[in-house]
Structure formats: structure tokens, C-alpha cells
Amino acid sequence: MDTRFPPNFLWGTATAAHQVEGNNINSDIWLLEHVPGTPFVEPSGDAVDHYHRYPEDIALLADLGFNSYRFSIEWARVEPEDGFFSPAAINHYRQMLLACRAHGLRPMVTLHHFSSPRWVIARGGWADPATAASFARYCGRIARDLGDLIDSICTINEVNIAFLLSELGLLPSGIASRGEPPAFVIHAARALGIGPGDFHCFLYAATDRVRDVILLAHQNAVAAIKAERPALPVGMTIALQDLQAVSGGEAVRDTIRHRIQDVFLEAARGDDFVGVQTYSRERFGPDGKLPPEEGVELTQMYYEFWPEALEATLRYAHQIAGVPTIVTENGIATTDDTRRAAYYRRALEGVARCLQDGLDVRGFYAWSAFDNYEWSLGYRPVFGIIAVNRDTQERIVKPSARWLGEVARNGGF
């Protein structure tokens, strides 16, 4: 098949501040990593020290052949206390953006990637509409101070993550039930001076009220960014699995799909683009979610090796949201890098088929540039096209990085 991509297609890798920078000590996630009973298997610590090593990292990504880089700006660093914007932190991100520009990488910036400042959670977190206003104020500030160097903005990464975890039964035990809060919530809430019932962090709070605050935060952020930089493309990203119905599972699948995908895709309708983030598929029968299909290879995340999911979710996103898409994350956790390259080849063939059918897909970002901190699962799952020895912080380029970089350089394969 013809896997030529348009000449202006964005080719990049993606990272998130908390997962790579290290020592994000003012964030809610850092707090959760360190409280008694934490659901995190290990703390993030120095991560891959991207906060200090971004100049070499950005140069390496450019050398490999990419033309863009998606990274996140950390709200907890930029605004460590309510209303105090750190000029030093903002300048740090300005230097990162300048490094991207100097190396020919068009920067796509995410303004919220799961972690929030501690003060936000102490004031009601994602259940409080005031958080939508605070978030928009921070986004407007970034647009004003850094927008001249940014190519496009993702306001919030995976607006639907908590709802997806909740519907698929993946929340840490105790969070989803209405019973006693788990120990880690009690301790985290105490550290913030609030009651456990008032602890609403982005990753784990999955109520209708939280959903409304998150979508309001996105809308307010778009308005605040556009007020500063009307021409800057803005969207949000959504975690989308290919949700398949098996032998009579359509009704169950459709109900779940409505709650975890449709309401968010519908909210993206007025945006400049929507970010599609896809890793695998999930199958549903009449009684709910089914286990992985027998005989299908599993990744380190216990997801099925199913690169065709990306084509399916891109088509679905176009159908429901009706705006241009960007693949803001796609990838696989495996220690066998030959499987990663195979996965990307098949996923990209799916993207090419979408383009041939006239879908407006604008770019592809591999998750992730580096092996990094996979949230509660720690450092075990490796998603990177570049390995990192975290004792020495040495970067080791994997063959999949060379392959993907060549595809980017050649605009196809």
C-alpha cells in the first residue's frame, strides 16, 4: 500500500512533564506517590531528568528525523501558589521552546497532563468550578508569555481518563466505591488540610460534576488562549480505545462508549482539532467487558497488541467530533523493540488509509520519546523509543526510534 504522508504532516514524539522532568514536588501526584498506602508502586524521583537534560534530548529527537515535539508545561511549577506565576519557571519553558525552534521541531504544548498544583486540590480540586477559572488564568498567561513560540496547544490531556478508568474497573481500590475512602486519600487529604470527601484529583475523580468542571476548564482555557493568540490552534486530547462489540454486546458497548468517549468527542466539536490517543482495543459482550482474546499477544500493560485500533478510533473521532484530528499519542509498552517497530508500522498503515479516504489527520506523535514514569505502575512498563539508564541518565536509542525517525524524514515508508 501507499504510505506517503502529506508534506506538512507533523511527526513527533510525546512526553508529559511529571513523567520525565523529575522532582515535580509541588504537584498532587508527587504527594500521592509519598503518602502511606500509596497506589503508586514507586515514586517518580528524578524521572529522566528532562528538566535539565532537555537541550540534548531535543537535539537527539531532531537528529532522529522528527519535525515536531509534544511536551507538557507543568502548572505546579509555573504557578506553585494560587496567583503566583514563577518568572523562572516560565523562562525555563521559553528556553525549551527556543531549543525546539533552533532544531526545527515545531512545539506542541500540553497545559495539563494529569498532575495539578497541590493548592488546586486543597481548594476543591476538579469538583470545584473555580478550578476551571484558575486553569484558564494559567493558560492565558502561558499564551501571552510563550504563545509566540508555540505551534499548537492541547489544553488538557485525556479529559476522559478518570471516567475510562472508572467504567473499565481500573481505578485504585476504594476510590470508585462510595464506602470508606482508602488510606492514601485520607493521608493526602490530611496533608492538604481538607477532608477525604473533598479530595478530587484529576486522575481518580470520576463524577458527573468533575466531568462538567473539566469540560468547562477546557472551554475557558480555549477562550483565554484565543484572547491572547487568536490564530493559535487549540484542542484537547481524548483517550480512545477501539471499543468492539462481540456477539450481542452492542448495547453494553454503546452505553459505555457514550460515557467515556462520545460526551467528550461531542465537546470537541467547536475546536481547531482533537487529539486522539490510542493504545489498544477493548471487547464487550452482553455482560460487560471481556478479557483479552485467546491467542492475541499481550503488552506489558496487559493490553492486546492491536495496532489497528488507531485507524478505528481516528474514524470514530472524525465521525463524532467532525474536526481535524492529530494522533497525539500512540504506542506500546514492550521490552522487545522489534514488536514496537511492527506496531508502529501497522498503526501508521491505518493512518495512511484514513488519509486516503480524505480524513483530515494532521500528525502523529509516538508515545513516548523516552522510557519514563508510567504513573502508578512506576518505571517497569517501557513505552520509549529511547531507553534511559536512570543511574547515569544516559540515553540509548532503540532501533524503533531510527525506523520512525526515517519514516518522518521520508514522509512515509
Q: How many CB atoms lie within 10 A of CB 388?
A: 24
Residues within the interface to ligand GCO (CB under 6 A): 16, 19, 157-158, 239, 277, 329, 367, 374, 383
In whole angstroms, what is the distance from residue 99 CA to residue 96 CA?
5
Residue 347: in which H helix or E strand, if any?
helix 337-356
Q: In the complex, what is the shortest distance from the CB of residue 277 to ligand GCO, in angstroms, rounded to a whole number?
A: 5
Q: In the complex, what is the shortest distance from the CB of residue 16 to ligand GCO, in angstroms, rounded to a whole number?
A: 5
Q: How many CB atoms lie within 10 A of CB 237?
A: 29
CB nearer ligand GCO, residue 113 or residue 187: 113
**Torsion sign over Cα 303, 253, 278, 132:** negative
Q: In the complex, what is the shortest distance from the CB of residue 302 to ligand GCO, in angstroms, rounded to a whole number?
A: 12
CB nearer ligand GCO, residue 284 or residue 303: 303
* Residue 116 falls in which region: left (phi positive, over 0), alpha (psi -120 to 50) or beta: beta
Does 158 participate in catalysis according to the annotation?
Answer: yes
CB nearer ligand GCO, residue 152 or residue 189: 152
CB nearer ligand GCO, residue 140 or residue 155: 155
Cell reading at 221: 482555557
Which of 158, 167, 311, 329 is labelled catalytic?
158
Cβ-contact 111, 221 below 8 angstroms = yes
Determine whether 125 is exposed, middle or buried from the number of CB atoms within 10 Å of its CB (0-12, 13-18, 19+). Answer: buried
Q: In the complex, what is the shortest distance from the CB of residue 381 to ligand GCO, in angstroms, rounded to a whole number?
A: 7
In whole angstroms, what is the distance from residue 56 CA to residue 46 CA?
17
In whole angstroms, what is the distance from residue 275 CA to residue 364 CA?
10
- Beta pairing class for 394-397 and 273-278: unpaired
CB nearer ligand GCO, residue 157 or residue 186: 157
Q: In the complex, what is the shortest distance from the CB of residue 405 to ligand GCO, in angstroms, rounded to a whole number?
A: 21
Q: In the complex, what is the shortest distance from the CB of residue 249 to ligand GCO, in angstroms, rounded to a whole number?
A: 25
Q: Measured between alpha carbons, how far is residue 229 from residues 3, 136, 201, 234 in Å? A: 35, 14, 29, 10
Q: How many CB atoms lie within 10 A of CB 42?
A: 13
Start-to-end CA distance of the chain, whole Å, equals 10
Q: In the complex, what is the shortest distance from the CB of residue 190 to ligand GCO, in angstroms, rounded to a whole number?
A: 27
CB nearer ligand GCO, residue 158 or residue 272: 158
CB nearer ligand GCO, residue 242 or residue 329: 329
Cβ-contact 273, 152 below 8 angstroms = yes
Residue 95: in which H helix or E strand, if any?
helix 87-102
Q: How many CB atoms lie within 10 A of CB 190?
A: 13
Active site residue ranges? 158
